[in-house]
């Protein structure tokens, strides 16, 4: 009879199927030949002790046992070519998973994406990196797949209460992701592998009768008697529908401005803002694994750190082991940073957003903008950074200890940020209260992670697009906008998600509620 085990083993044993079988054979006192198969269900690293262990949850099948295969297949989608239509604005994870769910429920999605398809985006990413040219509709934030496609593809979420995480992970596997994402404690697809999965999702939407329109920006939402009637595109085309799922992402400032102008209820939302810190990956490995060399069986070490400084949370965000820092501006005249890792996480540097939680009162200098006050606060910092760094896509940068001591760094080494850096005292970029918290916070980080507080670490500013600065309020049960019938604010841009998985879950939830109301 199969036996489920929870064990701790060395990294070498965890990485080798035969060694794992041999270990289990001794543990359960059964000859190796009697063990037919070991199915690993979950795997995580325990680096709390000097001797690092891997936690493994596994099912052991003995000779004669029937191996239970969890066959992962796509749902039985229906052809919806002639079905009722729902507009989905945005082809990020919220929009794409909303579209798939609509098809599963027999409704036709019309997905409208301002940016290019996932492959076409690459030329614009090259242009921002090499030529400092920002395409306002096609960049790291906008385009098929959304912000996560070319900024890492992390699948870890703390949002367990929001919905079925395993369902989303299994759908991704069915679309081509490695089954390892079902096992790892912090699953990750990688920026190099995610585009093909995104393309396969789009192909499936089209195959079953849905529509996907690229390079189509929504410039107006048609509303009559507080009920949506459709949308107008930048070319003046009208697309009619009684239901709209609005999944535009956290950087669609023109949509926030449109809603505000039309007096459709939105509200300012606190978010977090700071810098992106880059260390040598070998240094992070030595801190996290307490060793000079991590060896071949351990992955590049991540880190997660949170401190309270002057009554504010300061914490790591979107940490990228073996990764690079990317330029994520969505308009000319601003600079924005983010990070990503390839699937192998094999770059020599590690980077993480290090951000401070903001409060609504911080936006008071921008009070005249009403619900857009937080967005204008965010925008002002990005524009100031652009001016200070030389009015290109170079970013202001400073060594970590120099920043904490208010000293301009005499030299900045080449970092993974391709457009380049300009040595700037980062206190000029941020309001005084933020600078003070970060200066103190980095020293506190160094007390918890010995070696972290170092001039080997280069700070890049700003990390400002952590989440939406606006919430689009909706009914807790129907998920419909509180004021406009047929409008379903969805995902990260509406303030209801924070990453690929939670956005995909929210997309599915909005699609279900949308269909229920048809």
HEC string of 406-437? CCCCCCCCCCCCCCCEEECCHHHCCCHHHHHH
In this prediction, residue 263 carries a pLDDT of 97
Distance between CA atoms of residues 41 and 29, nearest Å: 21
- pLDDT, average across residues 382-406: 98
- The answer to whether residues 349 and 324 touch, using CB atoms and an 8 Å cutoff, is yes
In this prediction the pTM is 0.94
Residue 355 has pLDDT above 80, yes or no: yes
Distance between CA atoms of residues 213 and 202, nearest Å: 11
In this prediction, residue 7 carries a pLDDT of 96
Residue 149 has pLDDT above 80, yes or no: no
In this prediction, residue 189 carries a pLDDT of 81
Distance between CA atoms of residues 237 and 329, nearest Å: 28
Domains of the chain: which residue ranges?
A: 3-62, 85-268+468-516, 272-366+379-463
In this prediction, residue 161 carries a pLDDT of 53
- The answer to whether residues 272 and 356 touch, using CB atoms and an 8 Å cutoff, is yes
Half-sphere exposure of 363 (CA within 13 A, CB side): 26
In this prediction, residue 148 carries a pLDDT of 76
pLDDT per position as a tens digit, 78-97: 999 999 999 999 999 999 99
Q: Token pair 């749902």 is at which residue?
A: 75
Residue 157 has pLDDT above 90, yes or no: no
Pick the CATH number of 85-268+468-516 from 3.50.50.60, 3.30.60.50, 3.40.640.10, 1.10.3080.10: 3.50.50.60
- The answer to whether residues 4 and 10 touch, using CB atoms and an 8 Å cutoff, is no
In this prediction, residue 158 carries a pLDDT of 62
How many percent of the chain have pLDDT more than 90? Answer: 87
Distance between CA atoms of residues 243 and 518, nearest Å: 8
In this prediction, residue 211 carries a pLDDT of 98
- pLDDT, average across residues 23-38: 95
DSSP per-residue string spanning 182-221: GTBSS-B--TTTHHHHHHHHHHHHHHTT-EEE-S--EEEE
Distance between CA atoms of residues 111 and 214, nearest Å: 8
pLDDT per position as a tens digit, 234-271: 999 999 999 999 999 999 999 999 999 999 999 999 99
- pLDDT, average across residues 488-494: 97
Size of the chain, expressed as the number of residues it contains: 518
Fold observed for domain 3-62:
Alpha-Beta Plaits (3.30.70)
User: By C-alpha distance, which of 231, 101, 211, 104 is closest to 507?
Assistant: 101
- Which two three-digit tokens encode residue 122? 């690459």
For 351, the 3-state DSSP assignment is strand
In this prediction, residue 163 carries a pLDDT of 62
Distance between CA atoms of residues 293 and 313, nearest Å: 32
Q: Round the average pLDDT of the chain to a whole number and report it.
A: 94
Instruction: Please give the DSSP secondary-structure letter assigned to residue 135.
Output: P
Place 152 in a pLDDT band, splitting at 50, 70 and 90: low
- pLDDT, average across residues 40-50: 89
Distance between CA atoms of residues 11 and 296, nearest Å: 9
Query: Does this chain's domain 3-62 share its CATH topology with 85-268+468-516?
Result: no
Could you tell me which residues are beta bridge partners of residue 337?
327
- Worst-scoring range by mean pLDDT, 398-407, 442-451, 495-504? 495-504
In this prediction, residue 341 carries a pLDDT of 86
- Worst-scoring range by mean pLDDT, 24-28, 52-56, 156-160, 164-168? 156-160
Place 6 in a pLDDT band, splitting at 50, 70 and 90: very high
In this prediction, residue 218 carries a pLDDT of 98
């Amino acid at each position: 009879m199969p036996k489920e085990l929870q064990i701790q083993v060395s990294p070498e044993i965890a990485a080798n199927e035969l060694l794992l079988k041999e270990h289990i054979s001794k543990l359960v006192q059964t000859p190796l030949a009697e063990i037919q198969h070991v199915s690993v269900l979950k795997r995580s690293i325990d680096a709390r002790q000097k001797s690092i262990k891997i936690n493994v949850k596994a099912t052991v099948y003995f000779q004669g046992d029937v191996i239970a295969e969890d066959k992962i297949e796509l749902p039985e989608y229906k052809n919806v070519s002639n079905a009722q239509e729902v507009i989905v604005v945005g082809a990020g994870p919220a929009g794409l998973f909303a579209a798939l769910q609509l098809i599963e429920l027999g409704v036709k999605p019309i997905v409208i994406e301002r940016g290019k398809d996932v492959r076409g985006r690459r030329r614009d990413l090259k242009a921002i990196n090499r030529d400092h040219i920002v395409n306002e509709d096609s960049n790291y934030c906008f385009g098929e797949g959304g912000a996560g496609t070319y900024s890492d593809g992390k699948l870890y979420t703390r949002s367990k209460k929001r919905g079925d995480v395993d369902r989303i992970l299994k759908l991704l596997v069915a679309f081509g992701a490695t089954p390892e994402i079902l096992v790892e404690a912090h699953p990750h697809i990688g920026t190099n592998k995610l585009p093909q999965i995104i393309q396969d999702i789009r192909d499936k939407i089209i195959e079953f009768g849905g529509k996907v329109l690229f390079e189509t920006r929504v410039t107006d939402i048609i509303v009559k008697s507080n009920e949506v009637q459709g949308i107008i595109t930048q070319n003046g085309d009208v697309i009619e529908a009684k239901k709209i799922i609005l999944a535009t992402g956290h950087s669609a400032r023109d949509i926030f401005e449109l809603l505000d102008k039309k007096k459709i209820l939105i509200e300012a939302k606190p978010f977090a803002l700071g810098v992106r810190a880059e260390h040598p990956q070998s240094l992070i490995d030595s801190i996290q694994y307490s060793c000079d060399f991590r060896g071949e069986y351990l992955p590049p070490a991540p880190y997660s750190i949170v401190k309270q400084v002057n009554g504010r949370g300061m914490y790591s965000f979107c940490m990228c082991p073996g990764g690079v820092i990317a330029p994520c501006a969505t308009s000319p005249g601003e600079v924005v940073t983010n990070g990503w890792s390839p699937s192998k996480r094999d770059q020599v540097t590690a980077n993480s957003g290090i951000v401070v939680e903001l409060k609504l009162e911080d936006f008071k200098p921008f009070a005249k903008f009403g619900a857009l006050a937080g967005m204008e606060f965010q925008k002002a910092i990005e524009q100031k950074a652009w001016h200070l760094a030389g009015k290109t896509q170079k970013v202001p940068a400073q060594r970590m200890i120099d920043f904490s001591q208010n000293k301009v760094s005499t030299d900045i080494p080449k970092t993974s940020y391709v457009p380049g850096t300009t040595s700037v005292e980062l206190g000029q970029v941020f309001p005084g209260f933020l600078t003070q918290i970060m200066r103190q916070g980095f020293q506190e980080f160094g007390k918890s992670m010995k070696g972290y507080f170092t001039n080997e670490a280069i700070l890049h500013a700003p990390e400002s697009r952590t989440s939406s600065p606006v919430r689009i309020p909706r009914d807790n049960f129907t998920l419909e906008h509180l004021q406009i019938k047929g409008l379903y604010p969805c995902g990260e841009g509406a303030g209801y998600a924070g990453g690929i998985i939670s956005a995909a879950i929210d997309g599915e939830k909005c699609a279900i509620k949308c269909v229920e109301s048809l």
